[in-house]
A and B are shown apart, each in its own frame.
Chain A
Amino acid sequence: MHPAQPVATASTVFLRRPGVQRVFYPLLVALVLLGLWQGLVVALDFPPYLVPSPLRVTQALVGDAALLFGALLTTMKITLLAFACATLLGTLIAFAFVQSRLVAIALFPYAVLLQVTPIVAIAPLIIVWVKNPTASLVICATLVALFPIIANTTLGLRSVNPGLLAYFRLNRATPMQTLLRLRIPSALPYFLGGLRISSGLALIGAVVAEFVAGTGGTGSGLAYQILQAGYRLDIPRLFASLLLIGAAGVMLFAVMTALSRWLLGGWHESELSTAP
């Protein structure tokens, strides 16, 4: 018997676990890329104001921690407020659309209009109109995050098994019973899909709105830090801010995925496979 064999087998078994794989392989990619990046920057001797090495970015992140994490907190506050507003508003609008065909026909084009209008084009207007800076930023981010929730929830509330709907009618279910026991559970997978898209969009909306507000000289979020760092050619800090925005986005996505798994695990097709 080869002495190293049992150890190798144990680590192979460990690596085969899907939970471990989901963490291990992305981390491996990150390590390889960071190593390449660090190696190239050192080998080609790039100045840090053009391309900072990962080490310099980390130094900036640690050195400016108070400033950057404060900015992250501001951006996250805007993001979460906008996400909550978009969820509430989007769900209410979707219910209105499903309750009345006329409302849906009359208002849906405007929902699409809202979606296709670039937020950078209307953000200055909103920032001028709304005095409170937090409120104006939340409004901008909400507008960006709203549409997927309206569209997905509407689709979900309409995607009811026709056989079950007939069964409910046959048993004289009241509209409220049909809503609570049939339409809402049927819509849940679609609604959660909408939430997952919207959480990321709320963050993008918050950052874009901060950019527009920041060029006007106000703001304290991460976008403002990126603008300031850009003006001062403090590229490591710019990268550190970028890293925090990315991390916040990934975290939001992970929370939404966990929520979806918790609510749908066991019964819905999307959560039955081990695929990500």
Chain B
Amino acid sequence: MTDHTALAVEARDVEKTYPNGMRALRGVDLQVQEGEFVALLGPSGCGKTTLLKMVAGLLQPSSGRIFVRRKAVGQIDARCHRLSFVFQEATLMPWASVAANVRLPLDLGRIPRAEADARVHEALKQVGLDTFAGALPRELSGGMQMRVSIARALVTRPTLLLLDEPFGALDEITRNRLDADLLDLWRQNHLTVLFVTHSIHEAVYLSTRVVTMAARPGRIVEQITIDEPYPRDASFRVSTAFSGYAGRLQDSLLRASGADATQA
């Protein structure tokens, strides 16, 4: 049994019904321990993004409660919970330089300029973009823009990182490279990561544990621990263990959608 004090995120019987009557989530119980890398995996409409946004405090559950570090998520407060959120798109300010974009959360928190600049440089270095500080977002490729978005998330020195399908729009080669870099950042910065994806392979490659979800209504189906050591390199992607896990996850998702089909 894991130590209860090391609980990073906990969802207790969480439901979410949107005002239009759509049941996005039903009876969700989830626990994430400090230091874990948990992937929420499921088809579109299974409520995985909704769940992530509720952990961030961007959405309120209709019933049930969510705790971050055993404090109820009441109002939006990324700073106090030391969490950072990375959106599906890079979501950068097109008029501001890369450095100014990364500095944004520090500016909003009124961190003195000298300290902020030092931290921006450090964060850009971590994502390998320190030579692009003066560039504008439109001058960068999609993958590099996503790196800026990750640097902006790291600059506040979070302990909990929430990512909402961050690499979904990128080509596979870029996505694989960013996945590998994300694992390095997770290990170097001792982060807890909650990662939303619809890619089975990405979930297996990254996670310590995969939570499979199903749609209509959105719910958790199964939780599968990926018991493989880190660092995981490219050879892991072609190993038998990898395809074994991928097969299990696929079965889990198919069974859930099969049950869904008979209900319908």
Contacts and interface: CB of A to CB of B under 8 A. Distances in A.
Chain A complexes with chain B: yes
Interface stretch (A16-24, A86-94, A158-166): A158-166
Q: Say what secondary structure dominates the interface of chain A.
A: helix
Contacts of B108: 168, 171-173, 177, 181
A171 B94 CA distance: 19
A182 B79 CA distance: 19
Contacts of B91: 161, 163-164, 167
Interface residues of A, number: 20
A163 B87 contact: yes
B78 A164 contact: no
Contacts of A177: 108
A170 B56 contact: yes
A177 to B, nearest CB: 6
B241 interface: no
Contacts of A181: 93, 104, 107-108
Contact of B109 (A166, A169, A171, A272): A171
Q: Say what secondary structure dominates the interface of chain B.
A: loop
Given A169-B76, A171-B78, A185-B93, A267 B57 contact: no
Given A166-B58, A167-B87, A172 B95 contact: no
A169 B108 CA distance: 10
Nearest to A162: B91
B95 A267 contact: yes
A267 B94 contact: yes
A48 B45 CA distance: 76
Contact of B94 (A163, A172, A268): A268
B79 A171 contact: yes
A167 B105 CA distance: 9
A195 to B, nearest CB: 17
A266 B78 contact: no
A182 B91 CA distance: 12
B77 interface: yes
Given A163-B91, A267-B94, A170 B76 contact: yes
B240 to A, nearest CB: 40
B255 interface: no
Nearest to B94: A267
Given A181-B107, A267-B138, A170 B89 contact: no
Nearest to B162: A170
B252 to A, nearest CB: 31
Contacts of A169: 58, 76
Interface of B: 56-58, 76-79, 85, 87, 89, 91, 93-96, 104-105, 107-109, 136-138
25 contacts: A161-B91, A163-B87, A163-B89, A164-B91, A166-B58, A166-B87, A167-B91, A169-B76, A170-B58, A170-B78, A170-B85, A171-B78, A171-B109, A172-B76, A172-B77, A172-B78, A177-B108, A181-B93, A181-B107, A185-B96, A188-B95, A267-B137, A267-B138, A268-B94, A272-B138
Interface of A: 161, 163-164, 166-173, 177, 181-182, 185, 188, 266-268, 272
Given A181-B93, A182-B93, 5 more contacts: A169-B76, A172-B79, A185-B93, A185-B95, A267-B137
